Amino acid sequence: MSAVSPAPTFASRPSWKQTVAVLVLVELALLAFYFETARAMVEIWWRSGTFNHAFLVPPISLWLIWEKRRELAREAPRPALWLALPLAVIACGWLMGELAAVNVLTQFALVGMLVLAVPLVIGLRAARRIAFPLGFLFFAVPFGEFVMPTMMDWTAKFTVLGLRATGIPVYQEGLHFVIPSGRWSVVEACSGVRYLIASIVVGTLFAYLNFRSLKRRLIFVAVAIVVPLVANWLRAYMIVMLGHLSGNALAVGVDHLIYGWVFFGAVMLIMFAIGLRWREDETGPSAGLAREEARAKPAAHPRDVLLSAALAIGIAITPRAALMWLDGGPVQPPPQLSAAALAQGGWQLAEAPLVDWQPAFANPSATLNVTLAKEGRRVGVFIAWYQQQNYERKLISSENVLVKSSDQDWAQTARGEKSISLGGRTVGVRTASLRRIDAGLTSESQRLMVWHWYDIDGRVVIRDALGKLMLALKRLAGRGDASAAVFVYAPEPGAEVLAQYLSEAGAGIERLLAEADAARR
């Protein structure tokens, strides 16, 4: 009868003590170099209820790693120095995100560097033992709110469909609808994004802890995505029905959010209870594990561990130094945007404003808001100019919208895209329809048609991702980040008027922006 050797521990592997110490120093150095990015993440966790759960992600990840300590001790740390190359790529991604002021890109890059530094220092074999805890750290990135407009549309459509199926007449425009008992609208809190993100995070952790096969884990995560979507639609329908049947005595104001969380919590408990029926218990170590351990390679030389740390720290410093060099130029005053440049082709500047609306674009460096008229036709032009952008002042942001959902005067009822003629060339622009709220949902309400786009380096851009990339490349080339958002609007039906103005005088807009960009170089 052979003696059973005790399970290896970190204490029985001196090389692990040294490697873990070096790894901790590398992780702390990365957090120090990118402290502002890490602080921005924590600030979002603190102020946004959607991401309060992220405070728990790092402790959970560390706990999961601690639970794997015996498995880690079976491996010998062997740095994977070739991972310095993908680490450098991620560091470049952070630089591009910083140049374009894209929070989510810089934050994903920071977490990616923290995660990739682990196999770089301890090796791929050992890192595979803790692959899930490392991957779980990505849930610390405040990400996912970009789906909010789509989810708000889905929620509004399902609610209206359910009301009509119940026999309640509904008049809908965009996210706003009216039933006989009152008006309702779908706002950010009704989108279900909070439910979806919370369900994905908790569902992924539940699947990891309770299932062993990849198939069951993926199925449960898929269920954790679908269930909150459907649950939120049912929640919105039930809230409107409660308000309607109670004469708006129930489920109105703040309490409808409380009802929503109670309903969501009940749905999640049911989902987890069902998932536990297919739970797969942890099996003991297989006989092959001992053979695998016997074949394990010896620990790497200490100098390899130190070299991996030096590579990680050297790569981390590079984008920070590059950013300091690119931001070393003097602060320049914003340009003077001349309204006279827009009066071309017989269009004249009008004194009276067209309407009291303007887009909700935050902190522009300069603005121009004018009304032009020709032969009884009137259009409005609004230009928001941005330069030397940062996280508080940037052209492309999820916070920059035509109308805030909290706006008490105007509401957006439709959006789309179309091709137009601008200064003799055909370009694509975004379109939107706006309605004055205090006029009610009637055909006589004051309505606007808006065409809008970004002007970056003289190009018309309507895709946010492309615009961010162009701004980053422009800064990287040393040409700054001067750019603008252009809005042209007219009372509905206004397509013909807008098309006429842009065909006859659109070249003036492009020339004005080109001159403003050239003046600051």
CA dist list (Å): 348 to 378, 499, 512: 10, 16, 16
Alpha carbon distance 408, 360 (integer Å):
13
Residue whose entry in the numeric block shows the structure tokens 């200490």 = 302
Residue 503 confidence (pLDDT): 86
What confidence tens digit (pLDDT) does each residue in 168-214 have?
888 877 777 888 877 887 777 777 788 888 889 999 999 898 888 88
Residue whose entry in the numeric block shows the structure tokens 């709220």 = 437
CA quadruple 514, 515, 520, 521: dihedral positive or negative?
positive
* CB distance 155 to 194 below 8 Å: no
Alpha carbon distance 489, 431 (integer Å):
10
Residue 352 confidence (pLDDT): 76
Alpha carbon distance 471, 468 (integer Å):
5
Q: How many helices (H) and strands (E) does the chain have?
A: 16, 11
What confidence tens digit (pLDDT) does each residue in 467-501 have?
999 988 888 887 888 899 999 998 888 788 898 88
Residue 261 confidence (pLDDT): 66
Residue 201 confidence (pLDDT): 92
Question: pLDDT band at residue 4, thresholds of 50, 70 and 90?
Answer: very low
Alpha carbon distance 115, 43 (integer Å):
21
Question: pLDDT band at residue 353, thresholds of 50, 70 and 90?
Answer: confident
User: Would you state the structure tokens that stand for residue 438, as one six-digit string?
Assistant: 């205090």
Q: What's 482's DSSP letter?
A: -
Which is more confidently placed, 320 or 13? Answer: 320
Burial of 66 (0-12, 13-18, 19+ CB in 10 A): exposed
Least confident of 7-16, 234-243, 325-334, 354-363: 7-16
Residue 112 confidence (pLDDT): 95
Residue 286 confidence (pLDDT): 45
Which residue from 22, 291, 20, 287 is spatially nearest to 130, judged by alpha carbons? 20
Alpha carbon distance 445, 433 (integer Å):
12
Strand, helix or coil for residue 186: coil
User: 329: which residues sit within 8 A by CB, 6+ positions away?
Assistant: 480
How many other CB atoms are found less than 10 A from the CB of residue 29? 16
CA angle, 60 as apex, 215 and 113 as ends, to 5°? Answer: 85
